[in-house]
Structure 1
Amino acid sequence: MSRPPIDLRSDTVTKPTPAMRLAMAEAEVGDDVYGEDPTVLALEARTAALLGKEAALFTPSGTMANQIAVGVHCRPGDELICSATSHVYLWEAGGIARLWGVTPRTFPGDAGLLTLAEIEESVRPDDQHFVRTRLVTLENTHNRGGGPVHPIEDVRAIARWAKQQGLAMHLDGARLMNAVVASGIAASEWAKSFDTVSICFSKGLGAPVGSALAGSTEAILQARRLRKLLGGGMRQAGILAAGALYALGHNVERLAEDHAHALILAEAFSDVEGVQIESWPVETNLVWVTVDPALATAAEVAAHLRLHGVLTSALGDQTLRACTHLDVSRADVERAAEVIRGIEPEALAAETVVY
């Protein structure tokens, strides 16, 4: 019997463990739209405390949490500042403009990480010809940048400037707990610089569904109305919230294993002629690589790896991503590294690739 593939496409592919499933099955539930689901209320309280905020709101996805934050802070005709490779701009189906009539103003950043020097002249004049600059969004860790942790001094400097300019701050913290574990800096300390913070439970933390948005009591009251507008008002959602609570209680510290595993994969890719790591050193659980066209396309490399039992994501003509998570063991990663080191022109040329 063949072994199951090693799935490195994303940390969203994790399956709930038996213990998490039991916690979900036994969850006490109520109607969350009426504010009567005790497990959802417990998760929201725990998330708010974790992030040092007054309140939090459970949402079905990180995309919804981020988009709600834009809706809370901005009005049609406003502008937000973000990295050109940020999730809120690149991978949320144009929600900034389609949902809220907000214009994104993007900056390259260093591996997607913005600095004050890059954006400090970006606020539009108070003039009828211009949009109104209202919001700065940062992402920590930064997915498309290769999973780097945003230096906290840079975050603090941007936050001080934003306050002086009258701008709100939102953190896309989809992988914030990876940043916490990698840096040793508490989640509440990271969140201190922001008016709102999103956090995802269904990536490295391993819950099957869900994110949360945290902020002031007033901001979360507004957010709750926008969640309903977007169809995110769930009913007996405690079954899902229980998985997120279990994840917070059991799966945070072990993220360090994912980071160590990602480094093994990165070292394997770096041994392959014609493959270059996009961001070094690899700090957390994401490995982004560029494939030299002289070797192959990213899709061809991904197909080769798939044939040998390793799943990765081709996310551009020459761009490939591998992502470690709790369903990938050290033995799995070491086997994947062996397969990766076997990438060579002769092997690729000998295979019949079916798309």
Structure 2
Amino acid sequence: MIDLRSDTVTKPTEAMRQAAFEAEVGDDVYEEDPTVTRLEATAAEMLGKEAALFVTSGTQGNQIAVLTHCQPGNEIVMEENAHLFVYEGAAISAFAGVQPRTIRGKRGAMAPDDVRGAIRSEDIHFPETGLICLENTHNKAGGVVVPLENMQEIYEVAREHGIPVHLDGARLFNASVASGVSLKRYAAQTDTVQVCLSKGLGAPVGSIIAGSSEFIQRARKWRKRLGGGLRQVGMIAAPGLIALTEMIDRLKEDHDHAKRLADGLANGRGLVLEEQVDTNMVLVNVKEAGHDADSFLAALEEEGIKAVKYGPYTIRFVTNYGVASKDIDTVTERIHNRFGTVSS
């Protein structure tokens, strides 16, 4: 079975397994685990922030950021298909007592003027705008890279109004590798940032949130409140260090595989690419092939291929560390054999 559902299905490398086995550990609630301390310092330096905090997942990191930045009754401005809005179980409302204000973006990017217009004025009837959230790469838009210039303009708008900016950078490493823009330059357009150590980087668990020292100290308490105060966490932090030091450059391989897959599928009868491929995601509309997403996925499963439904007629394929070049050729061949190809 060739698994293209997500880059979350990656398995840790042998180096990661060995690092976990050999990790020096201590009680992290007492801030005595040397391995996680080293991981946090490494991540903070890479992102150009004063401090960082290890958290169990990207969703937990985003929630901790919202809880630390906002007060109950606040409103958060975000793109209408942001992960925070679509895929996190309404946690910002359930936990932080805040509501989203969504803006329709273009390829995941909000127009700065639309962000400016969404910021609430002082009025007894309105919630206060407590936070602006960005996402890069943008998951629901198909792993697209949000341009640095767009982030810069939105950050200027936020600074004009004294509103903090948080970046859901779960796949920020993909954005950096694809664009050539450094992690620090992206993170400089934000007050806080969350990045995943799993997904394309291959660590088995964990994410990082980074920001000012004062912010991270307050975030540490919110992590504890959410049950994220871990003990000998070095055993899962050690693979994260491998992810940061050995696995970033290899993301280009995933991007190349995704473009190759997209080129191959574009020749399939009735298969329509919905977005330009920037990183490791390929969105394909299967309606003209006579299928909806569910029937197409069932047929793929019979061919030994796993993908995910991304809309009534949309399938998402995600290249990842567990998928080799030969697997891309196999997927393309099996799909063409099953669904036919465009006649020459």
Please indicate the TM-score interval, normalised by the length of the shorter structure: over 0.9
Contact 2:271 2:289 in 1 (8 A): no
Distance of 2:334 and 2:263 partners within structure 1: 13
State the superposition RMSD in angstroms.
1.3
Q: 1:93 aligns with which of 89, 98, 101?
A: 89
Equivalences for 1:1-355 in 2 at 5 Å? 5-280=1-276, 282-292=277-287, 295-344=290-339
Contact 2:210 2:216 in 1 (8 A): yes
Distance of 1:332 and 1:275 partners within structure 2: 19
Contact 1:264 1:337 in 2 (8 A): no
TM-score, normalising length: structure 1: 0.94
1:202 partner letter: S
SS of corresponding position for 2:110: coil
SS of corresponding position for 1:315: strand
1:187 partner letter: L
Distance of 1:74 and 1:272 partners within structure 2: 48
Partner of 1:352: none
- Indicate the larger mover: 119-128 or 153-162: 119-128
Distance of 1:292 and 1:343 partners within structure 2: 15
2:317 partner letter: A
Q: What does the per-residue CA deviation read over 1:222-258, in whole Å, with 9 as the maximum and x for residues that have no partner?
A: 1101111111111111011001101111110010000
Structure 2's unaligned 5+ residue stretches are none
Deviation at 1:345? 7.9
Distance of 1:119 and 1:275 partners within structure 2: 35
Size of the alignment, in residue pairs?
Answer: 341
Contact 1:205 1:248 in 2 (8 A): yes
Structure 1's unaligned 5+ residue stretches are 347-355
Distance of 1:342 and 1:139 partners within structure 2: 37
Distance of 1:328 and 1:196 partners within structure 2: 32
Deviation at 1:339? 1.8
Distance of 1:236 and 1:60 partners within structure 2: 13
Contact 1:295 1:344 in 2 (8 A): no
SS of corresponding position for 2:28: coil
Contact 2:20 2:236 in 1 (8 A): yes
> CA separation of 1:137/1:50 partners in 2, compared to 1, >3 Å: closer, same or farther?
same
TM-score, normalising length: structure 2: 0.96
